[in-house]
């Protein structure tokens, strides 16, 4: 069924990001064009879509395995009945509301902020940290609200690095995004502008030549996207990343470690090596938060640490992302403790293969 749904759509429409946005899947019936939903999935969509939006782009739906409900693409976006049972889950595990000096700004470091400029995404990931706000009408951010946040940034000279996130800032039109970039570039202490966007993954056609021409007027701009599984690395996604890179925008990747999606050394290594071939640098892999309705996605931290320890012996250093836990105090690296500490005049380390090395380290 997957193939026939795609065949009914012209290439011009398919590659038009606005067509993709208008034709997003929001019901069990619409999903049936792409996959055979299980009874459980159908029930979860009808009953849980109220709690957290069920929306998928046709492009991302076309990457799903039509026959296999365990498909790692499908798991990320199709509601699962297991979302109902999660006694440990919290609405706001990072206490972001408390770290908000002004609406839409999250500040946990002195020098840099996450600026949630938009509450909309092209699709909604079931494990989204910002579930409490994305897709929610109450959070619809008016220009006036953005102005208030921009004023706060202008009055706070310590802020040198502004991460535009959301939601997804690339859901904005070029014009609206440019308005925001102009306003930020008017603030002399803002050195760096970063975009956090999943659109290269979920709607790569959004990354048009005209968007890239606009962005490169406001350098330095860095961009982090969010690939979780090698199946997401399609030619379309690679072209989107290439267009950004050719506009001089360094592209990094942030994944979330998810049970049944990327929780093995083999899958993580394949993902990271393929990213590097696209010249996309693996930056962070997040431990899944204690976020309500996501228990079935969580992997114990020890398992995560082992994955990245093993990768050290198997692949290029720049293909290894940093595994981090996000906390109300910022991101904390969860590296394997290769450094064991001082023994007399030596500093003792353990290599990836278990070898112990003593480096003379007199005080």
Ligand X SMILES: *Cc1c(COP(=O)(O)O)cnc(C)c1O
Contact flag: residue 106 with ligand SF4 (CB under 6 A): no
Cα separation, 290 vs 92, whole angstroms = 9
126 CB-near residues (< 8 Å, 6+ apart)? 52, 75, 76, 77, 78, 79, 80, 83, 293, 294, 297
* 125 φ, ψ (degrees, to nearest 5): -85, 135
**130 binds, options ligand SF4, ligand X, none, Cβ within 5 to 8 A by partner type:** ligand SF4
Q: Interface residues with ligand X (CB under 6 A)?
A: 106, 108-109, 112-114, 163, 331
Longest dimension (CA), the chain: 72
**109 binds, options ligand SF4, ligand X, none, Cβ within 5 to 8 A by partner type:** ligand X
Contact flag: residue 227 with ligand SF4 (CB under 6 A): no
**163 binds, options ligand SF4, ligand X, none, Cβ within 5 to 8 A by partner type:** ligand X
| Residue among 123, 301, 117, 280 nearest 199 (CA) | 123
Q: What's the closest the beta carbon of residue 95 comes to ligand X, in angstroms?
A: 11
Q: What's the closest the beta carbon of residue 296 comes to ligand SF4, in angstroms?
A: 16
Q: What's the closest the beta carbon of residue 227 comes to ligand X, in angstroms?
A: 17
Closest CB to ligand X among 114 and 171?
Answer: 114
Closest-CB residue for ligand X?
114
Q: What's the closest the beta carbon of residue 322 comes to ligand X, in angstroms?
A: 9
Strand order through the sheet with 330-333: 105-106, 112-116, 161-165, 192-196, 221-225, 251-257, 281-287, 322-327, 330-333
Q: What's the closest the beta carbon of residue 167 comes to ligand SF4, in angstroms?
A: 6
Q: What's the closest the beta carbon of residue 104 comes to ligand SF4, in angstroms?
A: 14
Applying CB under 6 A, which of residues 124, 139, 227, 323 lies at the interface with ligand SF4?
124
How much is the CA Rg of the chain, to the nearest whole Å? 21
302 touches 271 (CB < 8 A): no
Closest CB to ligand X among 130 and 298?
Answer: 130
Give burial (CB, 10 Å; 0-12/13-18/19+) of 97. Answer: exposed
State whether residue 236 is helix, strand or coil: helix
What residues make contact with ligand SF4 under the rule CB under 6 A? 121, 124-125, 128, 130, 134, 166-168, 198, 226
């Amino acid at each position: 069924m997957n193939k026939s749904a795609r065949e009914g759509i012209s290439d011009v429409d398919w590659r038009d990001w606005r067509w993709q946005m208008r034709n997003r899947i929001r019901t069990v019936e619409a999903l049936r064009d792409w996959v055979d939903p299980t009874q459980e999935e159908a029930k979860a969509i009808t009953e849980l879509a109220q709690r957290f939006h069920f929306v998928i782009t046709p492009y991302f739906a076309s990457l799903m395995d039509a026959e296999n409900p365990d498909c790692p693409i499908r798991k990320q976006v199709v509601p699962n009945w297991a979302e109902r049972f999660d006694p440990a889950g919290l609405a706001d595990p990072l206490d972001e509301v408390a770290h908000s000096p002004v609406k839409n700004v999250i500040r946990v470091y002195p020098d840099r902020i996450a600026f949630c400029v938009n509450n909309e995404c092209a699709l909604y990931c079931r494990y989204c940290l910002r579930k409490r706000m994305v897709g929610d009408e109450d959070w619809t951010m008016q220009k006036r609200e953005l102005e208030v946040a921009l004023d706060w940034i202008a009055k706070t000279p310590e802020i040198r690095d502004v991460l535009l996130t959301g939601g997804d800032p690339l859901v904005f039109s070029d014009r609206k995004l440019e308005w925001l970039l102009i306003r930020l570039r008017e603030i002399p202490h803002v050195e760096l502008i970063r975009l956090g966007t999943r659109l290269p993954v979920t709607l790569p056609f959004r990354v048009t030549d005209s968007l890239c021409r606009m962005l490169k007027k406001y350098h330095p701009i860095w961009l982090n996207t969010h690939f979780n599984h090698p199946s997401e690395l399609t030619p379309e996604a690679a072209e989107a990343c290439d267009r950004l890179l050719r506009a001089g925008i360094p592209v990094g990747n942030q994944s979330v470690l998810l049970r049944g999606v990327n929780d093995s050394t083999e899958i993580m290594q394949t993902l990271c090596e393929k990213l590097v071939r696209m010249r996309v640098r693996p930056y962070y892999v997040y431990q899944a938060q204690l976020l309500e309705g996501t228990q079935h996605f969580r992997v114990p931290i020890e398992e995560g640490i082992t994955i990245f320890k093993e990768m050290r012996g198997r692949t290029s250093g720049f293909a290894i992302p940093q595994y981090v836990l996000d906390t109300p105090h910022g991101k904390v690296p969860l590296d394997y403790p290769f450094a064991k500490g001082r023994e007399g005049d030596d500093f003792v380390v353990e290599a990836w293969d278990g070898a112990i090395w003593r480096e003379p380290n007199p005080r």
